[in-house]
Amino acid sequence: MSIETIKWVKGCARIIDQTKLPVSLEYIACRDVETMWQAIKRLSVRGAPAIGVAAAFGVLLGVQKFKGNDRLKFLKLFNETCDYLATSRPTAVNLFNMLNEMRAVVTCNPMADVPTLKKALEYQAMAIFKDDQDVCRRMGDHGAKLIKIKMQCLTVCNAGALATVDYGTALGVFYTAKKQGKKFSVYSCETRPLLQGARLTCWELQRQKIDTTLICDNMAASLMAKGKVDIIFTGADRIASNGDTANKIGTYMLAVLAKHHGIPFYIVAPRSTFDLVIKSGKQIPIEERKSEEVTHFAGVSTAPKGIKVYNPAFDVTPANLITGIVTEYGIIRPPFVKNIKRMIG
């Protein structure tokens, strides 16, 4: 794969500025935690696994300029950095899970001095980075088994290399199937309001020479009715212990439509996207974003001034509409409460 969504280069987190795609491929060099926080907030880096890695690197950025060996002062800065990064976005649990992994480094090394802690944190962040690369390829292997010859697949938003370090969750399934020489095609829902499907998924799939057709979100139902969708793969931002899944707005719509048309509907997400503390999707906080995302495009107004807007960035798909969840450990199928616990609990 030639896409390096996020990378740690000598004290600097280099990320692709996804707000600029597909028009231009530009990078942002994050040298402090504020730049990373902004990058997460404004979706320069997005996608639950990528946000998790970005948060880990963000912690490194926050503490790397600390001078001296005062452990208490260092911990204060460390905790403030973690708390600050946690305010960037609310829904994707990877953010919090990866911050917790970073916190665990500190908790588990109560006697370590500041230089040792810094080293250990960098080691942990790099482990999170490498783990994402590995985990995505394992999900790809499991998920690719679901793709049969000439299948017409559908996906929403971007659950690809751009949503992870470099390979993807849902799109990773396509990449692995492609490597295996399978012939199949993909419909990409454009994913309003910010068009991650049109801008990011189409860009990625085109680069990988996968047969891709772009549709507007409201065309998916019609495609299904025509028998043009055989299987659906989406990513996830947070999966509750009962299998309820928060993902990009429009995912729930696809799941309901899939049920109506008898089409299998799969989530592809690593263990780091599970929130086993919560019992159901009702407990997942759903980010609402500013109305300008809906009322304007490229600075042009597309709605009358002053109109009210409802702009949730995510929705929750109840587990009973999900055929299976592809993880790095295998495909989890219903009953989800039991099988999630068994496979990743």
**Site of interaction with a copy of itself (CB under 8 A):** 22-23, 156, 187, 189-193, 195, 198-199, 202-203, 206, 211-223, 225, 249-250, 252-253, 256-257, 259-260, 294-295, 297-298, 300-304, 306-312, 315-316
Catalytic residue among 237, 244, 275, 315: 237
Q: How far is the CB of 254 from a copy of itself (least distance, A)?
A: 9
User: CB of residue 118 vs a copy of itself: minimum separation in angstroms?
Assistant: 41
Of 126 and 214, nearer to a copy of itself (C-beta) is 214
Tokens of 268: 């592809």
8 A C-beta contact, residue 186 and residue 214 = no
Q: Which residues pair with 165 in a beta bridge?
A: none
**Residue 191 backbone zone (phi > 0: left; psi -120 to 50: alpha; other: beta):** left
Count of CB atoms within 10 A of residue 115's CB?
10
Of 88 and 212, which CB lies nearer to a copy of itself in the complex structure? 212
- Amino acid at the residue 59: V
Residue 257 tokens read as 């439509």
Active site annotation includes 275: no
Report, in Å, the least distance between residue 54 CB and a copy of itself.
24
- Closer to a copy of itself by CB, 35 or 152: give it: 152
Select 207 or 342, whichever has its Cβ closest to a copy of itself: 207
Q: In the 8-state DSSP scheme, what is residue 37?
A: H
Q: How far is the CB of 240 from a copy of itself (least distance, A)?
A: 15
Amino acid (one-letter) located at 134: D
248 near 193, Cβ under 8 Å?
no
Distance CA 162, CA 18 (A): 8
Q: Which residues are catalytic?
A: 237
